[in-house]
Amino acid sequence: MGPALGMVLLYGFQHINSYLLLLYHAAISVVGAEMFQHDRRLGQWYLVALFLPLAAVQLAFPGPQSWRALCGFSFYIIFFSVRLRRLCAIYASRLAETRDLEASVQPDSLTGLFNRAAMQNPMDRELKGAADTGRRVALLFIDLDGFKATSDTCSHRTGDLFLCKIADRLNRFAGSGLRVARRGGDEFTLLVTDVKLTISRPALLAFAESVLAAVCVPGSIEGRMCAVTASIGVGMFHDDAPNAEHLIRAADRAMYEAKRTGKRRICAFGARQLLDLHAPRKSPARRTRAP
């Protein structure tokens, strides 16, 4: 009875080991496939790291003893696979974040300026510093008037070249206290962090006027004269907005007000109303300029 029972138990034990090995192979196959999707080289090393120990166990324990060794080793491997799967998920998440960050810091492919995403981090950093020191920060939204018509009349290539010329003019204002970015299409932003420029609205008006004048200068592109104007909206941190999101909204709303009231002008977002920055100068000629 004893030997017969022992043979039955051994037979059942071997079959249990077989099921465990099948489970083990299924586990490493799933994890290995996921790792191959994220990183082919990492997936290859993963499979090598798991199959080599199995081969070593079978060589060290030939015959029926290998079943017992593989049984115990399978529990370790399955546990290791679960842990590695979690690490793989973390690795994939970090890799995606890194790629997004790399994409965000790439310059605009057409103009070479900061792109929309790359401007966000400097803006957040500047606003945090301004909140700590109590200084002002201004954001200018610059939207070109009539650029689409110019691009359609001449050619899209001419329009792109003229857009690069405008970007170069704006980039001349860049410095330690100024950052220029292209938000997309014919829209640009200019972050003003220089205390001397943002100490008051009149000082900011003078600076915005110089930006507008630079944009409105006609330029020759491949033998053709191109000209556009611009509508500029201004928002000020602390005065008009408590954070970056509200500052962007304030400048954007002011820019649309500049377009609505005649284009080729500058409007600032006030706490209670939208202010035409030309109004304090009482210059009707400027207020009625043709688009």
Give catalytic residue positions: 186
Residue 174's contacts (CB-CB under 8 Å, 6 or more residues apart) are 180
Say if residues 47 and 33 touch (Cβ distance below 8 Å).
Answer: no
Say if residues 161 and 222 touch (Cβ distance below 8 Å).
Answer: yes
Task: Give the residues across from 181 on adjacent strands.
Answer: 114, 189
Instruction: Give CA–CA dist 169/216, Å, rounded.
Output: 10
Instruction: Count how many Cα atoms sit within 13 Å of the Cα of residue 28 in the half-sphere of its side chain.
Output: 21
CA distances from 275 to 2, 217, 236, 264 (A): 100, 25, 12, 15
Would you call 139 helix, strand, or coil by DSSP?
strand
Nearest-10 crossing angle of helices 40-60, 65-104? 170
H/E stretch holding 233: strand 229-236
